């Protein structure tokens, strides 16, 4: 098997930030209403601005996290290496893939455009290992 790379997708990255902005903005607006604030619209606006800035600030770091699937391991950023025989669970988690090891380590391969395909590729490699 040739090595397979899992690269973050910018569209998924921004979609996740949009979802966080909507949920947290609604929560902030509701909290302001409950507190009796006469300007509850400031909660959603502040959440959208904060998450937009967060997205801009962390984008280059998030887009640099590339994982590679080899014949016997999953190799990630920062010299992370997980032997395929040590993986007990692989599942889709929103636009991410969560990998759980026998040791209890939980690894998140973030912002994938096609997380189900990544899960299938890792599971197929595990069966061959």
pLDDT, residue 84, reads 96
- Coil, strand or helix: which one is 110? coil
Buried b (16+ CB within 10 A) or exposed e, 94-111: ebbbbbbbeeeeebebbb
Indicate the angle between helix axes 42-63 and 10-34, nearest 10 degrees: 150
- The pLDDT profile of the chain, 129 residues, written as one tens digit per residue, is 568 999 999 999 999 999 999 999 999 999 999 999 999 999 999 999 999 999 999 999 999 999 999 999 999 998 899 999 999 999 999 889 999 999 999 999 999 999 999 999 999 999 987
Q: Classify domain 67-128 by CATH number.
A: 2.30.29.30
pLDDT, residue 2, reads 63
Entry pTM: 0.86
Asked if residues 87 and 122 have their Cβ atoms less than 8 Å apart, the reply is: yes
Spell out the residues 6+ positions from residue 25 whose beta carbon is closer than 8 angstroms to its own. 43, 44, 45, 46, 47, 48
CA–CA distances in Å: residue 99 to residues 10, 34, 54, 81, 123: 21, 40, 26, 12, 10
Domain assignments of the chain as residue spans, ordered by start:
9-63, 67-128
- Coil, strand or helix: which one is 95? coil
What is d(CA 67, CA 4) in angstroms, rounded to the nearest whole number?
A: 8
């Amino acid at each position: 098997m040739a090595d397979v790379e899992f690269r973050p997708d910018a569209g998924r990255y921004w979609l996740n930030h949009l979802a966080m902005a909507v949920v947290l903005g609604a929560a902030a607006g509701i909290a302001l209403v409950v507190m009796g604030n006469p300007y509850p619209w400031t909660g959603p606006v502040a959440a959208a601005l904060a998450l937009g800035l967060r997205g801009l600030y962390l984008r280059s770091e998030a887009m640099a996290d590339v994982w590679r699937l080899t014949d016997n391991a999953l190799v990630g950023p920062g010299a992370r290496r997980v032997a395929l025989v040590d993986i007990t669970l692989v599942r889709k988690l929103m636009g991410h893939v969560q990998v759980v090891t026998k040791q209890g380590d939980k690894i998140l391969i973030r912002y994938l455009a096609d997380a189900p395909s990544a899960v299938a590729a890792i599971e197929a490699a595990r069966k061959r290992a």
